[in-house]
Amino acid sequence: MALSGPGAMILYYDIAPDAIEEHDDWHTHQHFPERLSIPGFLRASRWIATAGGPRYLVMYEVADVQVLSAAPYLERLNNPTPWTAKMMENFRGMARGFCRVVSSCGLGLGHALHSIRYAPIPGREDELREWLKVTALPALCAKPGVAGAWMLEPAAMPPMTNEQAIRGRDADIPWVLLVTGYRAGALSRIAEDDLRTGQFERHGASAAAAGGSYRLDYLLTAGECAPRA
């Protein structure tokens, strides 16, 4: 299992074009280290869109989804640093979800990632899960160029906080499928064939699936942020 824990927070968003460089500096040197100093935060990764969008996909892997509703995390959200408060004004179209990892396959983490956000047709949730867990994902993870794949489903609603109030209310995230690999071209072919919209619809998903391809931009673990003796 390539993810570090059974829970994750997933974010999709754009940044005002003239603030992209500062966003990446802030995100790397302040925001990620701050978040990973919170108990239960295990690993954070930032991905940049190469096809589709939005520009950023960010994932925080956590020891338990409850970490995302606990006091230490909420304290940071309600007391943003001056740099964080400044950057929040540049966020555009934020979608954020507190998710549990319901299925995973493969090993390791590749530099390329394909993301699909989708929703089940009411009453066909089990059918869609079964197709992905039993048939689709194991077949994908056996293909050359692929490292691993994970299914995530919403587990809790993110609360309104001072950070969110600055940037505006976040959109909710439905179910998410992430496929990572070491050959971007292999993932592109999978997106066009194995994971095309028609396949999802055939097995119980609504027609509103949204996909995007990404490259790994930055990754940090909690262990790297721990105080040194």
Question: In terms of residues, how long is the chain?
Answer: 229
CATH code for position 85: 3.30.70.100
Q: Considering the domain boundaries, does residue 52 fall inside one?
A: yes
Contact present, 11 and 76 (Cβ < 8 Å): no
Q: Considering the domain boundaries, does residue 203 fall inside one?
A: yes
Q: Considering the domain boundaries, does residue 77 fall inside one?
A: yes
Integer Cα distance of 49 and 115 in angstroms = 10
In terms of residue numbers, what domain contains 119? 7-223
Structural domain total, the chain? 1
Contacts of 1 by beta carbon, 8 Å cutoff, 6+ apart = 104, 148
Contacts of 183 by beta carbon, 8 Å cutoff, 6+ apart = 110, 112, 144, 145
For the stretch 46-76, what's the b/e string if a residue is b when 16 or more beta carbons lie within 10 angstroms of its beta carbon? bbebbeebbbbbbbbbbeebebbeeeebeeb
Residue 4 has, within 13 A of its CA and on its CB side, a CA count of 19
Q: Considering the domain boundaries, does residue 162 fall inside one?
A: yes
Residue 126 has pLDDT above 60, yes or no: yes
Average pLDDT over residues 78-89: 96
Q: What is the pLDDT of residues 175-193, one digit of tens each?
A: 999 999 999 999 999 999 9
Q: Considering the domain boundaries, does residue 99 fall inside one?
A: yes
Q: Which of 109, 115, 105 is nearest to 58 (CA)?
A: 115
CA 1 vs. chain centroid, Å, equals 16
Integer Cα distance of 199 and 191 in angstroms = 10
Contacts of 159 by beta carbon, 8 Å cutoff, 6+ apart = 69, 74
Q: What is the pLDDT of residues 202-211, one digit of tens each?
A: 999 987 678 8
Q: Considering the domain boundaries, does residue 1 fall inside one?
A: no
Q: What is the pLDDT of residues 28-69, one digit of tens each?
A: 999 999 999 999 999 999 999 999 889 999 999 999 999 999
Q: What is the pTM of this model?
A: 0.94
Integer Cα distance of 156 and 3 in angstroms = 19
Task: Give the type of residue at 18.
Answer: D
Reported as a pLDDT band with limits 50, 70 and 90, residue 229 is very low
